[in-house]
Amino acid sequence: MSPLVLVLNGPNLNLLGTREPATYGHETLADISALCARSAEEFGLAVEFRQTNHEGELLDWIHAARGRCAGIVINPAAWTHTSVAIRDALIASELPVIEVHLSNVHAREPFRHHSFVSAIATAVMAGFGSHGYRLALDYLSQRLKG
């Protein structure tokens, strides 16, 4: 059985493809989900891909991953800059966490430069577009192989 990786996406990412395409590109969240499924299969992983606009739901998913998943890839979106609760849940999961952002948050507005997740993440991918998800899954697969 392949190790299971939870791929989580935060608020407004359901609007990908139509929301600020100059910043986020034209790919939809469904396109990214398909990319993750193909990449996971290639890297010997299984993925659950989810998105929510409700912080409590995201927290519940992170809590449920503990002891069930081999790692978490997360694009917390706007919650990156605001949520200590998500940071604490990720720590409590005791799983490797890869933070992903489609855009280079460090080249954007100053409020986007701070992440509550980065300091506790195993790795951070920012500015690679959807390819950041593939890089995160590749990295986790290598890490899990030891």
112 is in an annotated binding site: yes
* Dihedral pair phi/psi, residue 124, rounded to 5°: -130, 130
Phi, psi torsion values for 17, nearest 5 degrees: 100, -30
pLDDT (tens digit, 9 = 90+) per residue, 86-113? 999 999 999 999 999 998 777 666 666 6
Does the annotation place 63 within a ligand binding site? no
Q: How does pLDDT run along the chain (146 residues), one tens digit per residue?
A: 899 999 999 999 999 988 777 777 789 999 999 999 999 999 999 999 999 999 999 999 999 999 999 999 999 999 998 999 999 999 999 999 999 999 877 766 666 667 899 999 999 999 999 999 999 999 999 999 98
**Domain residue spans of the chain:** 4-145
Superfamily for the 4-145 domain = Dehydroquinase, class II (3.40.50.9100)
Q: Which residue has the tokens 């609760």?
A: 85
Active site residues: 24, 101
pTM of the entire structure? 0.93
Question: Is 115 annotated as ligand-binding?
Answer: no
